[in-house]
Amino acid sequence: MIAKALKSRYHPIVAHLIPVRRCNLSCAYCNEYDDRSKPVPMAVVQHRVELLAALGTSAVTLSGGEPLLHPQLDEIVRCIRRHGMLAELITNGYLLTPKLIRKLNRAGLDHLQISIDNVLPDEVSKKSLKVLDRKLRWLAEYAEFDVNINSVLGSAIRNPEDALTIARRARELGFDSTVGLIHDGSGQLRKLDPPQAAVFSAISNLPKPFHTSALYTRFYENLAQGRPNDWHCRAGSRYLYICEDGLVHYCSQQRGHPGISLEEYTRENLEHEYHTVKPCALYCSIPCVQRVAMVDEFRERPREALARFFPVHVHGHQTSSDLPTAIRVLTWLFLPRNQDSWRSRLTSTFRRAALLCLRVR
């Protein structure tokens, strides 16, 4: 996915697809669900998956509402995989059973994210560790796909230290964990208060995959301190949000822009939105879009991007000596400092071999 995204610019890296808007919960801070709408018919979802594949999309994330309320969810996952795209699911986990986990294994699901908001349910959210721990144990036992537990920090959550408990439990079970910052109805950050900021800092210091750690450094540390981020949001191009009506939106919090039917969405729309400046970007806290933006930052200015993702401050200067080992090896292979003709030929051979191995056309 990353190699394809680095090679070409005008295809979506991630598309969020909503198979059902209804949710079985009603979290107080959420504006992404209703309590009545019907699942999108399978034939319609299938057609949307085909359209996304035709646009060159690399990964499709199913969310809602609650996507497990769709009776043919495993069929949708199978359809995404059949079209050569990665399949991801974001769920509140309430409806998970060992049988359903096995079905998702067989369908070829790549990744599942459960959001857990607190340790004990309260009037804001019932997505609680107490309720969901049994589901997590089932996932640890049966899931053949990657699992990430996402907890949140922000004004709506009563006990910020719950996020740390949830992150530790995720690691105990062998899952990845991330923390999100609760945004308002336009995707904008609400500044963390001192106890929330302390919990954020403790979670940031837990060991994590280098791409998550880079996301924290690049975006979250600023936001947690109430500072804006300087970045180019590529929503509508590298990231698409397809609602239950089949319209393309920038993201869940900027629905209506551009609001064009997926049927009519073309490479010209992707190119146009790639360059469109989004006024809501400064305080945006939508991680899916920011992750995708990091790929393009790296694509356009690789060395500067690495220095931003993995900064090391030594007497006020930045060095790149503390890059994770994998990144250091890749930098040596693909981004040599010395550009003489011998080294350029070697780099170009590495590049061709890598694209061949990864089957990127």
- Does 283 engage in binding with ligand SF4 (CB under 6 A)? no
Residue 128 DSSP class: B
Residue 254 DSSP class: S
- Does 178 engage in binding with ligand SF4 (CB under 6 A)? no
Amino acid at 355: L
Alpha carbon distance 152, 200 (integer Å): 9
From candidates 16, 169, 218, 278, binder to ligand SF4 by CB under 6 A: 278
- Does 164 engage in binding with ligand SF4 (CB under 6 A)? no
Q: Residue 151 or residue 253: which is nearer to ligand SF4 going by CB?
A: 253
- Does 118 engage in binding with ligand SF4 (CB under 6 A)? no
Nearest distance from C-beta of residue 320 to ligand SF4, angstroms? 28
Q: Which residues contact 48 (CB under 8 A, 6 or more apart)?
A: 17, 242, 246, 262
Q: Residue 58 or residue 253: which is nearer to ligand SF4 going by CB?
A: 253
Nearest distance from C-beta of residue 286 to ligand SF4, angstroms? 4
Query: Torsion angle, CA of 130/132/134/137, rounded to 10 degrees?
Result: -120
- Does 95 engage in binding with ligand SF4 (CB under 6 A)? no
Between strands 176-181 and 146-153, the pairing is parallel
- Does 150 engage in binding with ligand SF4 (CB under 6 A)? no
Amino acid at 155: S
Q: What backbone torsions phi and psi does residue 312 show, to the nearest 5 degrees?
A: -125, 120
Site string for ligand SF4, 34-73 (x = CB under 6 A): ------------------------------xxx-------
From candidates 46, 57, 61, 92, binder to ligand SF4 by CB under 6 A: 92
Strand order in the sheet with 239-242: 176-181, 146-153, 111-115, 86-91, 59-62, 14-17, 239-242, 247-249, 258-261
- Does 254 engage in binding with ligand SF4 (CB under 6 A)? yes
CA atoms within 13 A on the CB side of 271: 3
Q: Which chain residues interact with ligand SF4 by CB under 6 A?
A: 23, 25-27, 30, 32-33, 64-66, 92, 127, 187, 233, 235, 250-251, 253-254, 278, 280-281, 284, 286, 289
